[in-house]
Amino acid sequence: MGKNKKTSVTTKLSKPNKSSKKTLVSGSINSSKCTAINKTKTLKNKKINFLDESGEILKKCLTKKVNLKNLIYSKNIQNQKKNLLKIITQTLKFKKPLQIIIKNSNLLAEEKSLDEHVALLLTYQLLFFRGLKEFGYYKKIVLKHKETLRKELLNLKNKMGVIKNEDLIDEKFRIEDDIPRYVRVNKLKASMEEVINVFKAQGYELINPDISLFEDGAKVINSFKNLKSKTFMRDIHLNDLLIFSKNTDFHDNKLLLNGSIILQDKASCFPAYILNPPKGSHIIDCCAAPGNKTSHLASIIDNDGRIFAFDHSERRLQTLNALIKKAGCSSVTSSCENFLNVDPNDEIYKDVEYILLDPSCSGSGIVSRMDLLISQQDHKDEVEDLDSLEKLKEEEEMARLKSLADFQLECILHCFKFPNIKKICYSTCSVNTIENEEVVMKALSQNKNFQLCEKKKVLDTWKNRGLNTFQDSEKMLRSYPEQDFTIGFFVALFEKIEM
Which segments are annotated as binding site for S-adenosyl-L-methionine?
287-293, 311, 358
Q: Which of 329, 361, 429, 453 is flagged as catalytic?
A: 429
SS (H, E, C) the chain: CHHHHHHHHHHHHHCCCHHHHHHHHHHHHHHHHHHHHHHHHHHHHHHHHHHHHHHHHHHHHHHHCCCHHHHHHCCCCCCCHHHHHHHHHHHHHCHHHHHHHHHHHCHHHHCCCCCHHHHHHHHHHHHHCCCCCCCHHHHHHHHCCHHHHHHHHHHHHHHHCCCCHHHHCCHHHHHHCCCCEEEEECCCCCCHHHHHHHHHHCCCEEECCCHHHHHCHHHHHHHHHCCCCCEEEECCCCCCEEEECCCCCCCCCHHHHCCCEEECCCHHHHHHHHHCCCCCEEEEECCCCCCHHHHHHHHHCCCCEEEEEEECCHHHHHHHHHHHHHHCCCCEEEEECCHHHCCCCCHHHCCEEEEEECCCCCCCCCCCCHHHHHCCCCCCCCCCCHHHHHCCCHHHHHHHHHHHHHHHHHHHHHHCCCCCCCEEEEEECCCCHHHCHHHHHHHHHHCCCEEECCHHHCCCCCCCECCCCCCCHHHCEEECHHHHCCCCEEEEEEEECCC
Which segments are annotated as binding site?
287-293, 311, 358
Annotated catalytic residue 453: no
What is the set of active-site residues?
A: 429
